[in-house]
């Protein structure tokens, strides 16, 4: 009987997997279907005692106190920010000023969206990368050879007047709460990005004032994509991942996590689990910032592990320049000792790339490197 059950589960048509892992869980899946089982070399490495082979407590991400950026301690915080972007590509941002009720409401409404009946969620399924709202599964369900244990809701956030009418109408308060959260995170991104430009030595002087105003104006009108992630409990978490190793395409990603662990970053060839801090953001350098900084600041591989006990919710807010803007290394960061290391790129190039191949690790950024 057990063999027959396994065969029936693994022989499900491809469309069954396209409906996502939440749908599988709602239908009582009790083992990971073959479609989600990673090759042995790509699975979370397990010790003999069944624990993930990662460095958990040996490394803590740098913590940037946003409130101190606004005061007399700004120069020292900028040095800490530069070190975080150079050495880790990640940092935790605390005391950022976004009200705790805005944060808790975003997690709550995100959770409630994934609790809607499948038929309601399925209204927003689309393979159009340019769609203002997309519900889907895995990383790229049209290209992934092996699916990952994740469902997502992607919301284009700019300009609000154009995209908001397309966002889900259920739950009834989703549009209002997500719009407030989107606005708050966009404003926070602009302030953090100004500090990062200053840490690179590109702004902050009278000579650079015009350039500062120009690029910050571009960011104000820039692209913002919110990705709401749902990682349901997985019956065999050692066989799969919530997301495979990858880097983010934009300048910065502001990630909001619930209290469940899952995010892991690669540091010194080891996977490090990021401990969630209440009401904080995990901020990471994206490919565009690595290109813009001519490699000074590094985008870093990260992935998501899953567990057998609890569902995990996260909200990633990805920020970059406007869709048609070209991203290139800043001329001020290029000289004889630091020659130009990257080709020009833009968001359209990125979409074309991920639409044509299965995304792996940092392969898009590698395709932009010179030499």
What rounded mean pLDDT belongs to the chain? 87
Nearest to 308 by CA among 230, 231, 233, 242: 233
Q: Walk me through the domains of the chain, giving residue ranges and CATH numbers.
A: 2-368 (2.60.120.330)
Burial 86-113 (b: 16+ CB within 10 A, else e): eebbbbbbbebebeeeebebbbbbbeeb
User: Contact at 8 Å (CB) between 94 and 63?
Assistant: yes
The SS3 of residue 143 is: coil
The SS3 of residue 322 is: coil
Matching residue, tokens 């990125």? 350
Give the model's confidence band at 63: pLDDT under 50 very low, under 70 low, under 90 confident, else very high.
very high
124 backbone dihedrals φ, ψ, rounded to 5°: -105, 10
User: Contact at 8 Å (CB) between 274 and 61?
Assistant: yes
Express each pLDDT in 185-224 by its tens digit.
Answer: 999 999 999 999 999 998 865 455 555 557 888 999 999 9
Express each pLDDT in 280-334 by its tens digit.
Answer: 999 999 999 999 999 999 999 999 999 999 999 999 999 999 988 999 999 999 9
Rounded alpha-carbon distances, angstroms, from residue 366 to 243, 246, 290, 353: 20, 12, 11, 12
């Amino acid at each position: 009987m057990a063999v027959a059950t396994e065969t029936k589960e693994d022989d499900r048509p491809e469309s069954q997997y396209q409906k996502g892992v939440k749908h599988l869980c709602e239908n009582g899946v009790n083992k990971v279907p073959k479609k989600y089982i990673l090759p042995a070399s790509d699975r979370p490495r397990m010790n003999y005692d069944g624990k993930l082979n990662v460095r958990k407590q040996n490394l803590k991400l740098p913590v940037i106190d946003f409130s101190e950026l606004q005061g007399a301690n700004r120069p020292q915080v900028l040095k800490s920010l530069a070190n975080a972007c150079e050495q880790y590509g990640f940092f935790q941002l605390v005391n950022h000023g976004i009200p705790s009720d805005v944060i808790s409401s975003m997690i709550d409404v995100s959770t409630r969206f994934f609790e809607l009946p499948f038929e309601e969620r399925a209204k927003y399924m689309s393979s159009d990368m340019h769609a203002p709202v997309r519900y889907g599964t895995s990383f790229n369900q049209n290209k992934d050879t092996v699916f990952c244990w994740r469902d997502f809701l992607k919301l284009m956030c700019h300009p609000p007047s154009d995209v908001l009418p397309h966002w889900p109408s259920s739950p009834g308060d989703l549009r209002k709460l997500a719009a407030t959260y989107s606005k708050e995170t966009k404003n926070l991104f602009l302030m953090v990005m100004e500090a990062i430009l200053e840490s690179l030595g590109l702004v902050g002087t009278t000579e650079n004032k015009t350039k500062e105003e120009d690029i910050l104006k571009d960011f104000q009108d820039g692209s913002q994509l919110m990705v709401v992630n749902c990682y349901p409990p997985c019956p065999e978490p050692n066989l799969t991942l919530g997301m495979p190793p990858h880097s983010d395409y934009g300048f910065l990603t502001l990630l909001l996590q619930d209290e469940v662990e899952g995010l892991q970053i690669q540091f010194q060839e080891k996977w490090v689990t990021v401990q969630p801090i209440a009401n904080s953001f995990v901020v990471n350098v994206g490919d565009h910032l690595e290109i813009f900084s001519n490699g000074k600041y590094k985008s870093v591989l990260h992935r998501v592990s899953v567990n057998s006990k609890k569902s995990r919710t996260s909200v990633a807010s990805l920020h970059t320049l406007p869709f048609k803007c070209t991203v290139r290394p800043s001329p001020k960061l290029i000289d004889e000792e630091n020659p130009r290391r990257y080709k020009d790129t833009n968001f359209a190039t990125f979409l074309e790339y991920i639409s044509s191949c299965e995304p792996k690790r940092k392969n898009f950024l590698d395709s932009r490197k010179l030499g």
